[in-house]
Amino acid sequence: MTMTNTPRTATVDDAVLISATLTRAFDDDPMMCWFFPEDATRPAALDRYFTTIFTRQYVLHGVCERTDAAAAFWVPAEAQEKAVPDAATIEELENILGDGVARLGAAVETAAAHTPQEPHWSLSLIGADPAAQGRGHGSALLRSGLAQADAAGMPVYLESSKASNLPVYEHFGFTVREEVPLPGDGPMLWGMWREPRGRA
């Protein structure tokens, strides 16, 4: 089957495809491995986790795009206050995370303390199926989202817990703004920033 890397708007009907794609993409991610340390149960937990945040949070208040093998969730500046989990979503995430909920809470609290205060877009999440690596799926989604942020004249902020991804983001104009160690045995977070382009 031919897979296209053309970005298109993701809808709630894409939840099964998106959560499966992101589960494969984030299986070895340091942050997700910290939240879900058991190899045997991580895929099922990740699938529930991504389904929950996509259907109950980002598809409602963010800009969600996908290809046939990747997905990206962006939050425009004007939606930052809305694109947070409500009480029911938090309860569902607690059920999914189990003992890992304290680690999630620590990560959210620490990251929030370092989030830039100036108006910006956030790249909340982007991931491509490892089986499609090198076929331009992630790059296509990055270009699409960054073009929209540029059109709005907005800088973009992201956080990565995977050092190997930093050169990729740097290629698209991001620079490391801050290194944020998470509490206890948590991974390092790199906060990255990109100024808008293409405006006089």
pLDDT in tens, 139-194: 999 999 999 999 999 999 999 999 999 999 999 999 999 999 999 889 999 999 99
Q: Is 31 a residue whose pLDDT tops 90?
A: yes
pLDDT band at 85 (very low <50, low <70, confident <90, very high): confident
Look at residue 47 in the predicted model and tell me its pLDDT: 98
* Domain boundaries along the sequence of the chain: 8-194
> In the chain, where does DSSP find H-type helix?
15-25, 30-35, 42-53, 59-61, 87-97, 101-114, 137-151, 166-171
Fold classification of 8-194 is Aminopeptidase (3.40.630)
Task: Read off the tokens for 16.
Answer: 């099964």
Across residues 24-41, what is the average pLDDT?
A: 95
pLDDT digits (tens, 9 = 90+) for 109-153: 999 899 999 999 999 999 999 998 888 999 999 999 999 999 999
Inter-residue contact 98 to 147 (CB < 8 Å): no
pTM for the structure as a whole:
0.93
Using only C-alpha atoms, the chain has a radius of gyration, in whole angstroms, of 16
